[in-house]
Amino acid sequence: MTSPRRVPDPSARLSLAERARIAAAQREPDPTGLEDPRWRDQAATHAHVIAGILGLDPLCVRYRRDPHRNYASGGYWPGVLLHVNDPADPTQTLQVIPDLAGAYLLLSPCPQCGQPTPAVRLAELADLAAITPTPTGTVAAPAIGRPRDFHGDPAHLPGCRYQPDTATTAPGGSTTDPAATTDR
């Protein structure tokens, strides 16, 4: 999880210039200097969409390259990892990734390897009712009902029974493990 950061008070009247300075300070620099501007555009769009779904000020959502997930569409395209800060509780930061089907996936520690893996599908604010915040700023996902993306997620550590090559999938795409039911 990331450390708490300044989340704007929604009741504060900030000028456009002040909001722009806050947004610029939150933007992570490109470590390679080779970032495709279209990636940043796409990441910013995802940040605005998830802010809208959750009813938050867009300044409560930051984006960065996902260290575990990449997309290949005519070349290498880094995944987008969104950090959503709860304005009412700065210690709570949710990690969210876009789902290729158009929704979003809330990440939560894998019950075996502890890596951040898809736990809850987010298409609307009510979907967050399935999680329980913890004192460490992570979320506890339900024991069953994880989205199908949980199995085979590239964030699982080697040896984890939920790794891509160890996931047991039945015909039709359903999984034989109750921790990874097809909820998508």
Higher pLDDT, 114 or 30: 114
Report the pLDDT averaged over residues 106-133. 86
Confidence check: pLDDT of 170 > 70? no
Look at the chain and count its residues.
Answer: 184
The percent of residues above 70 in pLDDT, for the chain, comes to 68
Number of domains in the chain: 1
38 inside domain: yes
5 inside domain: no
Dihedral sign for Cα 116, 66, 155, 99, please: positive
25 inside domain: yes
107 inside domain: yes
Q: What is the pLDDT of residues 31-80, one digit of tens each?
A: 666 667 888 888 999 999 999 999 999 989 999 889 888 876 655 778 89
CA–CA separation, 129 and 131 (whole Å): 6
90 inside domain: yes
70 inside domain: yes
HSE (side-chain half, CA atoms, 13 Å) at 78: 21
First to last CA, the chain: 25
pLDDT band at 158 (very low <50, low <70, confident <90, very high): very high
HSE (side-chain half, CA atoms, 13 Å) at 55: 6
Higher pLDDT, 32 or 113: 113
pLDDT at 184: 34
6 inside domain: no
CA angle 94–162–131, rounded 5-degree value: 30
CA–CA separation, 145 and 147 (whole Å): 6
10 inside domain: no
Confidence check: pLDDT of 167 > 70? no
Q: In whole angstroms, how large is the CA radius of gyration of the chain? A: 17
- Structural domain harbouring 143: 16-180
pLDDT at 111: 86
Higher pLDDT, 182 or 153: 153
158 DSSP assignment: T
Q: What is the pLDDT of residues 15-38, one digit of tens each?
A: 888 888 888 887 776 666 666 788
Phi-psi category of residue 172: left, alpha or beta, with phi > 0 → left and psi -120 to 50 → alpha? left
